[in-house]
Chain A
Amino acid sequence: MGRTIKIDPVSRIEGHAHITLHLDDAGNIDDAKFHLTQFRGFEKFCEGRPFPEMPALTARTCGICPVSHLVASSKACDHLLSVTIPPTAVNLRRVMNLAQLIQSHALSYFHLSSADLLLGMDSDPKSRNLFGLLKVDPQLAKDGIRLRQIGQTVIEMLGGKKIHPGWMVPGGVSGPLSEDSRTAMLAMIPEGLDIAERTFESFKDLIGKFPEEIQHFGNFPTMFLSLITPRGGLEHYDGFFRIKDADGKIVDDMVPLEEYQRIIGEAVEPYSYMKFPYYLPMGYPDGIYRVGPLARLNNCDFCGTKQADQALDEFRALQHDRPVSSSFHFHFARLVEIIFALERMKELLESPHILDTRVRARARGNNDEGIGVAEAPRGTLIHHYKTDDDGLITWANLIIATGHNNLAMNRGIKQAAEHFVDGNHLQEGMLNRVEAVIRCFDPCLSCASHAFGQMPLRIELHDSRGNVVDQMVR
């Protein structure tokens, strides 16, 4: 009977979780488990609701990426309506989705993770946060605040609110873009790009300080799942599924979004309220894959915008012959995507028809089943609904971006724990590294808790009789 170290809660992530590290008698890591401790049950309590309410309802899954849920849900509802929505509506939805990508990635990098990178993994936990960062590197902290604000402001201009906007509805969007809003949005983009480029450059300087972390933060072969455009480009709103293996070989390509059930299965483990999606043809748990910014950049052939494509080249250079395998580089990929999102948003806002007033297709329910898929900041998000003849939801399945990474997060913390944690001589910084692996994945656990803490971090080492032999509290 070995001992258990409990990291509770994992902090500076979005949601409720704890980690248990299971040690053998010699004090070596035997197993590591990531426990999601919240469960809400959207898949059931949506039952009976009218489908046009689903975008706003399912958006409450998450306060960081409500827009992702709006997109996936609205697309599932478009499918229920059986309509092709006006092209301007598609582009406006894309703008909001990109704005969210910017704010969410900014939050993950600046507000949650940069304290580890700038202040150090072993720095004083009392000031290892955004406020501590404000003292040590005020420019970076202010950049982060501003970048996130730019994303949030675009969302507000479109949807009336920064968090849980309405506006995205079955059939399109509820109102067109005003000339004034377009002008104001475009005016913020150069500033955003300056911040994004500046941060990207400073991050590249930083990574030299973290060779061990890069080597041991969830660095192992897995497949990657993401959406791509019909031409193989970086995509966040629509397109097709692509799955690549660790060697860069395409395993499955151009899979229509409606066929997700052919490639994705979900498993349950008794120790988490978060499910474990896997690549169905390979079975569980062999069908392990990762999603999110790292997967999207590994999978796509190109970004499609100038500065982002240059940054993509630098990303590829991290691991020449194959996809980038270290989960540490989720951060790298995130910064590339911020650049892309700003550039792409500019293109969309400058397109001639973006102010068109025809932005909503009106129809009643014409299908009794609808599937909507999009790329959330953290990865591929799937909403699948069935309705009765009167348009009331009878069944719902949500596969959440963070969930896809569940297998990889569990394996990632085990790898980091094996390398950094000495079960006989615990130090706070060791455990912070285990948490930092999770931060790389930027999990969105309130999403995953469609199934989501804050308890003191108390680490106890028990001997085989259950007696506490060592403990620490932070």
Chain B
Amino acid sequence: MSEAHKITLATAWLDGCSGCHMSFLDLDQRLIELAEKVDVVYSPIVDTKELPPVVDVGILEGAVSTEEDLHKARMFRGRCQFLISLGDCAVSGNVPSMRNTFDLDDVLDRAFVENVQAQPGRPSESLPTLLRTVLPIHHVVQVDLFVQGCPPSADTIWQVLTELMAGNTPDPTQFTRFGA
């Protein structure tokens, strides 16, 4: 397969723990096989920092919890032909959404005022504004495929990617679930 026919893949993490990306790296030796078929054009693990205008497959990890996350989710939706919501944080909000039952000011104050010995205060300079409510990705943009798991296993990610590369739409519920 020539370079020109490689599937382009972009990934990003929003509000998550990066565990889904680590699970992607757990593909281990299969990464080598993947690299022959897929061109990772944009990702935290590579240095190309401009999301190309058109990407075949986009993968988003993590929930939407800042204005920046919101912007990134919209940018991915706008530029990716097929958008995957990867992992429980992206699909359901998961652990990051646990702050939703608290008032955001209280959450910030615990970290930056109460548990601090010098210069207490809420940071804001050159930082994205936090959303009051953490949201799953599909609550802000349309998503084409949902892959649950915390994180989805490398085998699950491999199944999803190989099905997609074969031109099929995978059904992740056959091999993963919430909390897997």
A residues with a Cβ closer than 8 A to B are: 8-9, 11-16, 18, 20, 33, 35, 37-41, 43-45, 47, 57, 60-64, 66, 107, 111-112, 115, 125-126, 128-131, 134, 142, 145-146, 148-149, 152, 161-164, 265-273, 275-276, 278, 280, 283-284, 397, 432, 446, 450-457, 473-474
Picked from B16, B68, B111, the residue with its CB within 8 Å of the CB of A455 is B68
Contacts A148-B25, A163-B151 given; does A41 touch B111 at CB 8 Å:
yes
B12 touching A454 by the CB < 8 A rule?
Answer: yes
Picked from B102, B127, B154, the residue with its CB within 8 Å of the CB of A35 is B127
B residues with a Cβ closer than 8 A to A are: 12-13, 15-23, 25-26, 28-29, 31-32, 35, 40, 42-51, 62, 65-66, 68, 71-72, 94-96, 98-99, 101-102, 106-108, 110-112, 115-121, 123-128, 130, 150-151, 153-154
A63 touching B95 by the CB < 8 A rule?
Answer: no
Q: In this complex, what residue of A is CB-closest to B109?
A: A44
Contacts A40-B65, A64-B18, A131-B35 given; does A271 touch B125 at CB 8 Å:
yes
- With both chains docked as a complex, state the minimum distance between the C-beta of A447 and any C-beta of chain B, in angstroms: 8
Q: In this complex, what residue of B is CB-closest to A57?
A: B95
CA of A197 to CA of B96, assembled, Å: 40
Which residues of B sit under 8 angstroms from A452, Cβ to Cβ? 13, 15-18, 62
A11 touching B49 by the CB < 8 A rule?
Answer: yes
- With both chains docked as a complex, state the minimum distance between the C-beta of A21 and any C-beta of chain B, in angstroms: 12
A38 touching B15 by the CB < 8 A rule?
Answer: yes
Contacts A16-B13, A284-B119, A455-B72 given; does A63 touch B125 at CB 8 Å:
no
Which residues of A sit under 8 angstroms from B13, Cβ to Cβ? 15-16, 446, 452-454
Taking A63-B16, A474-B47 as given, write out 19 further A-B residue pairs in contact, using a Cβ cutoff of 8 Å, ordered by the A residue number: A11-B46, A15-B18, A37-B66, A44-B102, A45-B107, A112-B45, A115-B47, A125-B47, A128-B47, A131-B46, A149-B28, A267-B119, A270-B125, A275-B112, A276-B118, A446-B18, A454-B13, A454-B51, A457-B50
A33 touching B16 by the CB < 8 A rule?
Answer: no
Which residues of B sit under 8 angstroms from A271, Cβ to Cβ? 123, 125-127
Chain B CB within 10 Å, residue with most, of A45, A148, A265, A397: A45
- With both chains docked as a complex, state the minimum distance between the C-beta of B154 and any C-beta of chain A, in angstroms: 7
Which residues of A sit under 8 angstroms from B108, Cβ to Cβ? 39, 41
Contacts A45-B98, A131-B40 given; does A63 touch B18 at CB 8 Å:
yes
Which residues of B sit under 8 angstroms from A149, Cβ to Cβ? 26, 28-29
A145 touching B29 by the CB < 8 A rule?
Answer: yes
Q: In this complex, what residue of B is CB-closest to A18?
A: B126
CA of A106 to CA of B92, assembled, Å: 31
Contacts A12-B45, A37-B66 given; does A446 touch B110 at CB 8 Å:
no
Q: From DSSP, what is the main secondary structure of chain A's interface residues? A: loop
A63 touching B98 by the CB < 8 A rule?
Answer: no
Chain A CB within 10 Å, residue with most, of B21, B108, B111, B124: B111
CA of A432 to CA of B49, assembled, Å: 12
CA of A142 to CA of B18, assembled, Å: 22
Which residues of B sit under 8 angstroms from A446, Cβ to Cβ? 13, 16-18
A63 touching B21 by the CB < 8 A rule?
Answer: yes
Picked from B17, B35, B123, the residue with its CB within 8 Å of the CB of A62 is B17
A152 touching B26 by the CB < 8 A rule?
Answer: yes
Which residues of A sit under 8 angstroms from B42, Cβ to Cβ? 454
B128 touching A266 by the CB < 8 A rule?
Answer: no
A273 touching B123 by the CB < 8 A rule?
Answer: yes
Which residues of A sit under 8 angstroms from B68, Cβ to Cβ? 16, 37, 453, 455
A455 touching B49 by the CB < 8 A rule?
Answer: yes
Contacts A41-B111, A284-B119, A453-B68 given; does A35 touch B15 at CB 8 Å:
no
A474 touching B48 by the CB < 8 A rule?
Answer: yes
Contacts A14-B18, A164-B19 given; does A40 touch B44 at CB 8 Å:
no
22 interchain pairs, CB-CB under 8 A: A15-B13, A16-B13, A20-B126, A33-B126, A35-B126, A37-B68, A39-B111, A40-B65, A40-B96, A44-B106, A47-B102, A63-B19, A63-B22, A111-B45, A131-B35, A134-B31, A134-B32, A152-B26, A163-B151, A164-B19, A446-B18, A454-B72
Which residues of A sit under 8 angstroms from B111, Cβ to Cβ? 39, 41, 43-44, 275, 450-451
A266 touching B17 by the CB < 8 A rule?
Answer: no
A272 touching B123 by the CB < 8 A rule?
Answer: yes
B44 touching A163 by the CB < 8 A rule?
Answer: no
- With both chains docked as a complex, state the minimum distance between the C-beta of B85 and any C-beta of chain A, in angstroms: 16
- With both chains docked as a complex, state the minimum distance between the C-beta of B126 and any C-beta of chain A, in angstroms: 5
Q: In this complex, what residue of A is CB-closest to B110?
A: A44
- With both chains docked as a complex, state the minimum distance between the C-beta of B127 and any C-beta of chain A, in angstroms: 6
Q: In this complex, what residue of A is CB-closest to B47?
A: A125
B20 touching A126 by the CB < 8 A rule?
Answer: no
Contacts A12-B44, A40-B65, A270-B125 given; does A134 touch B49 at CB 8 Å:
no
